[in-house]
Amino acid sequence: MTGTNTFALAFALMLGMALPALADQPGADWMPLEEVAGKLKAAGYTAIHQIEADDGRWEGEGVKNGTRMEFSADPRTGAILTEHPDN
């Protein structure tokens, strides 16, 4: 392995270990996940497959009207901000 390849491998490994530390965390004033899920179900979602804090809001995937959807929700109110079919 050349020096360049060794450096590239080491850099990739360091980056891979650092990425989980960059994941978003819910803020202290965010609506609890369970309440957000309740709001999504009240809005017609019959299943929620994934929901996580990302880019300052709740984001996830679920099923609405028989279609797999991606959505984002306001972190403080749980109101749906965006939703579209998951491709």
Q: How far is CA 67 from the centre of its chain?
A: 19
Looking at residue 9, what is its pLDDT?
A: 45
- The class level of CATH for 27-85 reads alpha beta
Q: Which of 66, 32, 64, 75 is nearest to 83 (CA)?
A: 64
Cα-based angle 87, 19, 62 (whole degrees, multiple of 5): 30
Looking at residue 64, what is its pLDDT?
A: 97
Domain boundaries, the chain: 27-85
Mean pLDDT by 10 residues, the chain (87 residues): 50 44 80 96 95 95 97 97 94
Looking at residue 26, what is its pLDDT?
A: 92
* pTM for the full predicted model: 0.71
